[in-house]
């Protein structure tokens, strides 16, 4: 450790992203990327901006992209906030909306960046244990709090809660912000963005999205949040105190085109959901126990085989999945839904390993 580090740096345990291995032949099912390419319209839009204008700064407000997002969801552009990936959006959310005297509440098994942000920013937090079947129990979130945040569907479990349950949670939590992280919402979960439309828009609901998953633009780094204009104004203050030009020209152009190509989104999301259903069935035939998932990944275990050993055996065969060495979930594997061909290779490998 360097003697020049700030004291907080010495106490941090950083978030560890999924491995990006450089193996020659690889079935990569560990980082929840889309198995299909982005919208061709997005690629064309990016190419169209690859010119001399890159010498100029991009629009710091991202007005055209905000307009596209607002139009898609039936909102006002003043309800849209942009960031360099949803992780940057979330960082601004923790700094600008969740740092209060009371603790932030989130599940004990969830996106592991949440406690990292709390540690970095000095935010008090309290984890709420998931249920026996790894479900979020919303009754636990009636406790006094300085904010609530969780993914829907949750990660790494893939389990989701209903629109009506979130609506009830918001109504029972009017004195702090409820942040719903909908990174995986397009694979079978009902979004709560419609709650934000019109004059009935709640003051305390913020919904975060990313273009890295269902829109297959993980390499472009675009995320956004939507909510009441007052929440968005607070986030803009934080953003403009940190990085006033978060999204480049190529990112904004590609994101607009991807947002406008709903047909591509729906087609690829349906493919993933169909592959997910078949994979769960195939794994069940091998004796695996899989949690219900509405994400582009599944969380599964085999009662007769250790998760760590299955992970390593798959890796030895060039198939990369995610394994977490954490209490309650160390026997599980998180498997990204790939193509039908990739799923077939995974099932064949597991059949061989179990034999």
Instruction: Render pLDDT for 22-81 as a digit per residue (tens, 0 to 9).
Output: 666 689 999 999 999 999 999 999 999 999 999 999 999 999 999 999 999 999 999 999
Residue 145 pLDDT: 97
Residue with tokens 């309290």: 126
User: What's the average pLDDT block by block, 10 residues per block, for the chain (355 residues)?
Assistant: 74 71 79 97 97 96 98 98 97 96 98 95 97 96 96 98 96 96 98 95 97 98 98 96 94 98 98 98 98 98 98 96 96 98 98 97
| Dihedrals phi, psi of 300, to nearest 5 degrees | -140, 155
3-state secondary structure of 219: coil
Tens digits of per-residue pLDDT, 74-106?
Answer: 999 999 999 999 999 999 999 999 999 999 999
> For residue 175, what are the CA distances in angstroms to 102, 202, 238?
11, 11, 21
- CATH assignment, 40-260: 3.40.640.10
Residue 4 pLDDT: 66
Task: Answer yes or no: pTM beyond 0.85.
Answer: yes
- CATH assignment, 19-37+263-354: 3.90.1150.10
324 exposed, middle or buried (CB, 10 Å; 0-12, 13-18, 19+)? buried
Start and end residues for every CATH 3.40.640.10 domain found in the chain: 40-260
Count Cα atoms within 13 angstroms, Cβ side, for 6: 5
- For 243, other C-beta atoms within 10 Å of its C-beta total 14
Count Cα atoms within 13 angstroms, Cβ side, for 47: 6
The dihedral formed by the CA atoms of 290, 291, 297 and 299, expressed in degrees to the nearest 10? -70
DSSP 33: -
Residue 227 pLDDT: 98
Strands 223-227 and 205-210 come out as antiparallel
Residue 8 pLDDT: 77
Beta-sheet strand order (sheet of 322-323)? 289-290, 297-301, 333-336, 322-323
Residue 188 pLDDT: 98
d(CA 184, CA 192): 13
Start and end residues for every CATH 3.90.1150.10 domain found in the chain: 19-37+263-354
Strands 333-336 and 297-301 come out as antiparallel
- Total count of residues recorded for the chain: 355
């Amino acid at each position: 450790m360097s003697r020049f580090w700030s004291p907080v740096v010495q106490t941090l345990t950083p978030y560890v992203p999924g491995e990006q291995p450089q193996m020659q032949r690889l079935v990569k099912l560990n980082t929840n990327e889309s198995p299909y390419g982005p919208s061709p319209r997005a690629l064309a839009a990016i190419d169209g901006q690859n010119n001399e204008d890159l010498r100029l700064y991009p629009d710091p407000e991202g007005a055209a992209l905000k307009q596209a997002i607002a139009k898609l969801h039936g909102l006002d552009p003043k309800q849209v906030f942009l960031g360099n990936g949803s992780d940057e959006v979330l960082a601004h959310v923790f700094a600008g909306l969740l740092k209060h005297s009371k603790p932030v509440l989130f599940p004990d098994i969830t996106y592991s960046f949440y406690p990292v942000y709390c540690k970095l920013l000095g935010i008090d937090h309290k984890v709420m244990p998931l249920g026996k079947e790894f479900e979020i129990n919303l009754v636990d979130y009636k406790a006094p709090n300085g904010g609530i945040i969780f993914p829907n569907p949750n990660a790494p479990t893939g389990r989701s809660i209903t629109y009506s349950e979130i609506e009830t949670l918001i109504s029972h939590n009017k004195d702090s912000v409820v942040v719903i992280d909908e990174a995986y919402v397009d694979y079978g979960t009902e979004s709560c963005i419609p709650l934000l439309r019109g004059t009935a828009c709640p003051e305390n609901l913020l919904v975060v999205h990313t273009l890295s998953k269902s829109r297959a633009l993980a390499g472009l780094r675009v995320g956004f949040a939507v909510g009441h204009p007052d929440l968005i104004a607070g986030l803009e203050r934080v953003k403009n105190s940190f990085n006033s030009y978060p999204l480049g020209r190529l990112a904004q152009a590609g994101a607009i085109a991807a947002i406008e190509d709903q047909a591509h989104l729906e087609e690829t999301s349906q493919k993933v959901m169909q592959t997910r259903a078949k994979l769960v069935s195939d794994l069940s035939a091998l004796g695996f126990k899989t949690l219900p998932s509405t994400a582009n990944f599944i969380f599964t275990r085999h009662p007769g085989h250790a998760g760590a050993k299955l992970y390593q055996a798959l890796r030895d065969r060039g198939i990369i999945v995610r394994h977490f060495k954490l209490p309650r979930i160390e026997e599980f594997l998180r498997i990204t839904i790939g193509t039908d061909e990739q799923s077939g290779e995974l099932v064949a490998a597991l059949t061989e390993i179990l034999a």
